[in-house]
Amino acid sequence: MAGKAALKLNDHWSRTGKWLLRELREFSPGTAAEWLAVQGNPDAILDYGRRLLARHGGPLFEGYHAKGDMP
């Protein structure tokens, strides 16, 4: 999902399977290399996701607020 997020956050078409890496390489060889480097390492994938979100303003928009049903 991090690879698809990298493309979608940059308004780029995303695909699945073997096409995902091809699209990442077309969009940005550096992003593709970074994504490939974290595959198979859950901690590295989490860090990659955090870096990716930080480049786009963080995990939530400033001022985000959600009301819940909790007492």
Q: What's the predicted TM-score (pTM) here?
A: 0.62
- C-alpha span between 59 and 53 (Å, rounded): 6
Q: Is 64 helix (H, G, I), strand (E, B) or coil?
A: coil
Residues in the chain: 71
| Domain boundaries, given as residue ranges, for the chain | 1-10+27-57
- Token pair listed for 15: 């695909």
Interval 30-56 mean pLDDT: 89
**Alpha helical stretches, state H, 28-70:** 29-38, 42-54
* pLDDT reading at 33 higher than 90: yes
